[in-house]
Structure 1
Amino acid sequence: MGHDATLNAGDIARLADVGRAAVSNWRRRYDDFPQPVGGTAASPLFSLPEVEDWLRRNGKSYEMSLGDRAWQRLRAAGDDLRLGDLVACAGAFLLYLRRDPGGWKAVTRSQEPAKRLHQAAAAATADLPVPVDWSLVDIRLYRLLADLAAEQGPADAFELLCERYVEAHSRRLSVTRADHAELMARLAGAHPSPRSRAEPAEGSAEPAEGSAEVAGDPAGGPATVFDPACGVGALLLPFTGARVLGQESGETAALLAAVRLLLRGLRADLVAGDSLRQDGFPDLRADVVVCDPPFNERAWGHEELTGDPRWEYGLPPRGESELAWVQHCLARVRPGGLVAILMPAAAASRRPGKRIRGNLLRGGALRAVLTLAAGGPDLWLLRRPEPGERPPSQVLMLDASDGLTGVEAAWRAFAADPEGEPPAPGRAVRIIDLLDDEVDLSPARHRRPPDEPDAVAEFGRVRERFADAAASLTGALPGVAPPGQARELPTTTIGELVRAGIVTIHPGPPKMTTDAGEVPVLTAADVVAGGPPSGRAPAGAGHVVLAAGDVVATVATGDGAARVVAEPGAVLGPQLHLYRLDRDRLDPDFLAGHLRHAGASAARPYSGVSRVDARRVRVPLLSLAEQRAYGRAFRELLALEDRLRATAALGERLVRLGFDGLAGGHLRPEG
């Protein structure tokens, strides 16, 4: 392109710490704003040096982190069609750094660093599923990536690049939602498989004894986990102690997934190729199979796979590719092993697939259908029957479109007692009642009917609580008013406050078991909701213990939450940062308010930001007395936000109970 690096509008907004709308205004209002040097009319690209020069000339403060600078130079190394290959090459280099840091130091001192690098890196990463084109990136960019790895660690450095890549290609890439991936991992670990039964793929090494530990499941988990449509590895990442295997049709995605997994220390074996047409693990019998397959594909191989032995429950219709993926997953799991696969909501009721759905029920393979969000996807949980095993008589139905709370408890209870009744919101439905002309497995059609007396009493209680909560809102208005005259305050950054010794930042651990132990853990969800510590972790070294007056903020921008710690003693959980202040110079509520604002601003749709760089957050320079006045106002706003959230939740519950009651006949209109 003739430029060292380029940025889109979202990148400029992140660089200048403004909203994307501000960048659009600059382009309209300032004739000297840089002209696009590439991209399209809808998504133009601008020269990084030109943008930096314009920001300086117009007094716009900015700060580009090392990660953003590496990303921009990586993106400038080729066109957008090769961006995935460039990111994969960068990831492979980071894997080389992790495996052979001394080799990189020797390369940098050699006469021909580029040639030596290509040879050494290729040898250190020979186990990757796709050969790496090391010439895609020049030696200067490799040095920049090495600096980023030294600052953040190779794994976190690559996660940053992957985040930027997914953001840049959000319309082309399909990535499993993080909460869905985590739920699938927990459900897969909730019914552990005996390690001795795992059968590896032909020619693969046996898994190490005693190494099957699934994150979040202290009882232990599967020894082998397989994802036949692994994308960039999202579903395999949580299985930190298992041997993971994956296949992905795209070579670039397979390479990205392999690098992500290997950088996290997982024992990973991935291949590139179409799993349905070119099965890379024909002899595999894994303990667990997880899958988020492509939906609504008609060209999945219906004609050439007509007589395939995997179609144990019937030949999938041409328009039901998802049922081909279901049976492929069942064919690659051992008897008694679990399959967790995401499905479009329509797959539960489409007429062409009713015969296969019926056969899955009759054969005892389909164990649960869980709706995870309004409109889908659904999560199907299947278990390959043991030889001679008597099929169960019930299947679990659960509509979690209002929230995932209770899903895990319902599945655990049902898995332990398939003939019993699981806790709400789950419902055990008799299989014989589903084998009608439709074989409709939509959980919304099989919700647990409310008990009339309990439902009437619940409606009354919720209505009364909602009325009280709504009435209290008028007294919760914050003490905030327009100033007599607007003033522009001088500011500094949190990074400068750290350098001045006023603030110390402590990051939370990247991973932590938070469902068992004697130590209370403050989680990201607790900070968002404003509740007490809900996690529990084993005692041990390395915990960051909270003190009264500390400020804790979420790392991701989806909620933009920040709170002042009132009760000491808990420890800091993952996805959180702790800010310990010199309270004689900085007010905690004042800082929490600005962190809250920065996180919420970055989460807006136009911002294009996936996480907050806390050191770049700007804070006004005020006296301590003024800080405390602002802090009090921030605290009142936060209290109002908590009340609004609680009132909205009560209102939604009241509406749902009202509809259920009127339609079910145990409520009637007043008057």
Structure 2
Amino acid sequence: MRDDVMVNAADIARIADVGRAAVSNWRKRFDDFPRPVGGTASSPSFSLAEIEQWLRKHNRHVEVAPLERVWQRLRAVGDDLRLGDVVVYTGAFLLYLQRDPAAWRELARLTDDEMLSRLPGSVAAVVPEPPGELPHELGVDPSLIRAIAEVGAEEGPAATFDAICARYIDVHARRLLATPEPVGALMARLAATAGKTVLDPSCGIGTLLLASGAARALGQDVNGTAARLTAVRLLLHGVEAAVRDGDSLRADAFPDELVDAVVCNPPFNDRGWGYEELTSDPRWEYGLPPRGESELAWVQHCLSHVRPGGLVVIMMPGVAASRRSGRRVRGNLLRAGALRAIVTLSAGAAPASSGAPDLWVLRRPEAGDPPASDVLMVNAGDDFAVVEGAWQAYTSRTETGPPELPEASRVVRIIDLLDEEVALTPAHRVSRQTRAEPFTGVRERAREAISRLEVPKLTPLPVRRELPLTSIGELSRAGVVSIGQGPLKLAEETGDLPVLTVKDLVRGRAPSGRTCDEPGLVFTREGDVVAPLIPGENTAARVVAGPPVVLGPRLLLFRVDPDRLDPYYLAGCLRVTGETSVRLGSSVRMDPRRARLPRLPIEEQREYGEAFRRLLAYEDAVRELRTVSDDLLRIGFEGLLDGTLHPE
């Protein structure tokens, strides 16, 4: 294994499972921290071998996984501008391993020079299209190829390449602008793409096509490296794929292809989309897109590629729903019945936009379709379940009456939209609450929260009482308390076992995480005290009640002998002393052995523990009342203005 692999501060933080600020702090505090061996003054690079040695020396060593080591070696092959080509060839090689493992075993027995000379032809024999430059042209050496093969055999070719792609996206996040996976999955479900022929004419690195579950995937992207990367990803996942590079608007690679569905997240605000040369293009069935409305060109391009009755789900900037220059095209889309729904998501759902983007759901009209009379609008934010529920209710409605829509959604008559502006912004037509019934429920919740708001009573002392102190470390050595810690990470986010997370602890709610049974899990017992490893402003240690659950990451567990230490007393003491326990690196972390508490008899501990319990219960009640009051005010104001509530 080569020892000249270089890593940056972000890589070191990931390997050591700390924040980047901690790495910067190490560089300042420790004179023996390795010196940079490359990079720049603002972004230095370090020798991975030296970093591993330093971590071991300072008892911070985390074993570098083979996949991580392979990734760092791939990054070291060349500069970041050529990294995409290196990743593409890695994917092509993994596809070769997946399709013809026996051939690789034969090649692997050869010398490095013989293997390297025969490998390009072997890969080309099973990979449908050339992956670009050859390994020796990219600087990939035989030892790295063998290392990739070892990891691919251990993790599986597809899983290995998924992990490498994820790291590649991290490096080039600002340039690649990949659609967030949950948003891509939502788009695929709305377009009902599973098992169908699906097109993405601005596919990037293939996020939407992978999420689609398509039986046959067509893609095009102006970036040739991204297009080849998409092709390899799809093929590794067993999808029949045809991916081309080129500008879809100017040089459509699939001019005569009609597909079952189209999903697309096109570039926003592209002034150079081809307005001058495409003025008379037959795709502009709903009107010539204005020069500054490239998104409306993409909408019509997508509609031109879907069969009659097929669906298009496309990401749009929020302003595209109301810009004055695009009102003619929007109006024609409504009149033709092509635009069926507009969904507003939360800010950040589209990496190309800092605002809240929209999803437009379109359907290419079929001959004989009755004229559409309305359109669905959803003001969803982060609540994707609302989007799917509203779309299902809207599309499955009968002629007996209007659909039963979830909150934050509304059916709007097209005739009401065809005014001078043709403004289609969901937030202007539908609030996050649209019916009066939720107001009644929230009002009752507010009354219940107020009834539980019991202000604790404490007696002031005329003179401050000086109490002898002990520490949890001393209590631990005496066998009064034992300390456990949740794992750094949980391998699975789904499963049958409930997991108590940091957010659950802070908000005083039931466990929301899930995991599968595996070695090393820590389970709670009733009466245990749980506190966060990294305390925050509103952190509270809590006493566990109910059946056992898995202790989540970044949580500490204190198991007490109840005859010698009251758990509520300990929880209250941790609330006061735990947050200032110790500073490790660049962040405050609880060192449980250093947390101090007064040394009191068990009877007096229980008195204090009951007082702490009432204080924590009061805090929870105040927090719940604050939340429900905010909801009550918002729903009340919005309901009075949108006509769903009336003054009594």
TM-score normalised according to structure 2 size: 0.74
Q: CA deviation at 1:162?
A: 1.2
Residues 41, 657 of structure 1: CA spacing in aligned structure 2 closer, same or farther, 3 A cutoff?
A: farther
C-alpha contact (below 8 Å) 1:506/1:579 kept by paired residues: no
Residue by residue over 1:28-71, the C-alpha shift from the partner in whole angstroms, topping out at 9 and shown as x without a partner, is 11233223333344332222122123223334322211121111
**1:308 and 2:309 are equivalent in the alignment:** no
Q: CA deviation at 1:288?
A: 0.4
Paired residues for 1:8-157 under 5 Å: 8-111=8-111, 112-127=114-129, 130-135=131-136, 136=138, 137-157=140-160
C-alpha contact (below 8 Å) 1:589/1:631 kept by paired residues: no
Q: CA deviation at 1:588?
A: 4.9
**1:445 and 2:428 are equivalent in the alignment:** yes
Moved more, 660-669 or 400-409: 660-669
**1:412 and 2:392 are equivalent in the alignment:** yes
C-alpha contact (below 8 Å) 1:222/1:287 kept by paired residues: no
Residues 37, 650 of structure 1: CA spacing in aligned structure 2 closer, same or farther, 3 A cutoff?
A: farther
Q: CA deviation at 1:17?
A: 2.3
Aligned to 1:397: 377
**1:423 and 2:405 are equivalent in the alignment:** yes
C-alpha contact (below 8 Å) 2:533/2:556 kept by paired residues: no
Q: CA deviation at 1:330?
A: 0.2
C-alpha contact (below 8 Å) 2:246/2:253 kept by paired residues: yes
C-alpha contact (below 8 Å) 2:344/2:426 kept by paired residues: yes
Aligned to 1:268: 241
Q: CA deviation at 1:596?
A: 8.7
Residues 618, 292 of structure 1: CA spacing in aligned structure 2 closer, same or farther, 3 A cutoff?
A: closer
Whole-Å separation in 2 of the counterparts to 1:279 and 1:231:
15
Whole-Å separation in 2 of the counterparts to 1:254 and 1:286:
19
Whole-Å separation in 2 of the counterparts to 1:86 and 1:318:
37
Whole-Å separation in 2 of the counterparts to 1:169 and 1:37:
22
Whole-Å separation in 1 of the counterparts to 2:203 and 2:187:
14
Q: Secondary structure at the match of 1:45?
A: strand
C-alpha contact (below 8 Å) 2:200/2:219 kept by paired residues: yes
C-alpha contact (below 8 Å) 1:465/1:650 kept by paired residues: no
Q: Secondary structure at the match of 1:144?
A: helix
C-alpha contact (below 8 Å) 1:422/1:428 kept by paired residues: no
C-alpha contact (below 8 Å) 1:462/1:653 kept by paired residues: no
Whole-Å separation in 1 of the counterparts to 2:532 and 2:450:
29
Aligned to 2:176: 173
Whole-Å separation in 2 of the counterparts to 1:412 and 1:669:
33
Whole-Å separation in 1 of the counterparts to 2:557 and 2:85:
45
Paired residues for 1:259-338 under 5 Å: 259-338=232-311
Whole-Å separation in 2 of the counterparts to 1:359 and 1:445:
20
C-alpha contact (below 8 Å) 1:296/1:319 kept by paired residues: yes
Q: Residue type of the partner of 1:164?
A: R
Q: CA deviation at 1:391?
A: 2.2
Q: Secondary structure at the match of 1:226?
A: strand
Q: Residue type of the partner of 1:98?
A: Q
Residues 27, 366 of structure 1: CA spacing in aligned structure 2 closer, same or farther, 3 A cutoff?
A: same
Q: Identity of aligned pairs, percent?
A: 48
Q: Secondary structure at the match of 2:82?
A: helix
Q: Residue type of the partner of 2:135?
A: W
Residues 149, 581 of structure 1: CA spacing in aligned structure 2 closer, same or farther, 3 A cutoff?
A: closer
Whole-Å separation in 2 of the counterparts to 1:144 and 1:483:
56
Q: Secondary structure at the match of 1:171?
A: helix
Residues 31, 134 of structure 1: CA spacing in aligned structure 2 closer, same or farther, 3 A cutoff?
A: same
Residues 69, 622 of structure 1: CA spacing in aligned structure 2 closer, same or farther, 3 A cutoff?
A: farther
C-alpha contact (below 8 Å) 2:530/2:557 kept by paired residues: no
Q: Residue type of the partner of 2:120?
A: H
**1:355 and 2:318 are equivalent in the alignment:** no
Q: CA deviation at 1:625?
A: 7.3
Moved more, 93-102 or 409-418: 409-418
Aligned to 2:638: 660
TM-score normalised according to structure 1 size: 0.72
Q: Secondary structure at the match of 1:447?
A: coil
Q: Secondary structure at the match of 2:328?
A: helix
Q: Secondary structure at the match of 2:287?
A: coil
Residue by residue over 1:48-95, the C-alpha shift from the partner in whole angstroms, topping out at 9 and shown as x without a partner, is 122123223334322211121111111111111112222222111111
C-alpha contact (below 8 Å) 2:436/2:645 kept by paired residues: no
Structure 1: runs of 5 or more not aligned? 190-213, 215-220, 476-481, 491-496, 498-502, 509-522, 525-543, 568-572, 601-613
Residues 25, 143 of structure 1: CA spacing in aligned structure 2 closer, same or farther, 3 A cutoff?
A: same
C-alpha contact (below 8 Å) 1:286/1:333 kept by paired residues: yes
Residues 28, 143 of structure 1: CA spacing in aligned structure 2 closer, same or farther, 3 A cutoff?
A: same
C-alpha contact (below 8 Å) 2:379/2:432 kept by paired residues: no
Aligned to 1:384: 364
Aligned residue pairs, count = 553
Residues 474, 133 of structure 1: CA spacing in aligned structure 2 closer, same or farther, 3 A cutoff?
A: farther
Q: CA deviation at 1:14?
A: 1.8
Whole-Å separation in 1 of the counterparts to 2:119 and 2:519:
45
Residues 163, 483 of structure 1: CA spacing in aligned structure 2 closer, same or farther, 3 A cutoff?
A: farther
Whole-Å separation in 2 of the counterparts to 1:266 and 1:151:
22
Q: CA deviation at 1:456?
A: 5.2
Residue by residue over 1:385-436, the C-alpha shift from the partner in whole angstroms, topping out at 9 and shown as x without a partner, is 1124232010111100252232112111212238734512321111111111
Moved more, 658-667 or 311-320: 658-667
Whole-Å separation in 1 of the counterparts to 2:305 and 2:430:
32
Q: CA deviation at 1:259?
A: 1.5
Whole-Å separation in 1 of the counterparts to 2:38 and 2:626:
45
**1:464 and 2:426 are equivalent in the alignment:** no
C-alpha contact (below 8 Å) 1:588/1:631 kept by paired residues: no
C-alpha contact (below 8 Å) 1:473/1:643 kept by paired residues: no
C-alpha RMSD of the superposition? 4.5
Structure 2: runs of 5 or more not aligned? 348-354, 458-467, 478-483, 537-549, 576-615
Q: Secondary structure at the match of 1:440?
A: coil
Moved more, 308-317 or 34-43: 34-43
Whole-Å separation in 2 of the counterparts to 1:343 and 1:270:
23
Whole-Å separation in 2 of the counterparts to 1:414 and 1:651:
32
Paired residues for 1:218-617 under 5 Å: 221=194, 223-374=196-347, 375-401=355-381, 403-417=383-397, 420-424=402-406, 425-447=408-430, 454=437, 457-467=440-450, 471=453, 484-485=470-471, 524=494, 546=496, 577-580=515-518, 587-588=523-524
Whole-Å separation in 1 of the counterparts to 2:50 and 2:566:
38
Q: CA deviation at 1:593?
A: 10
Residues 258, 659 of structure 1: CA spacing in aligned structure 2 closer, same or farther, 3 A cutoff?
A: same
Residues 467, 253 of structure 1: CA spacing in aligned structure 2 closer, same or farther, 3 A cutoff?
A: farther
Aligned to 1:536: none
Q: CA deviation at 1:241?
A: 4.9
Residues 619, 348 of structure 1: CA spacing in aligned structure 2 closer, same or farther, 3 A cutoff?
A: closer
Q: Residue type of the partner of 2:440?
A: A
Moved more, 326-335 or 423-432: 423-432
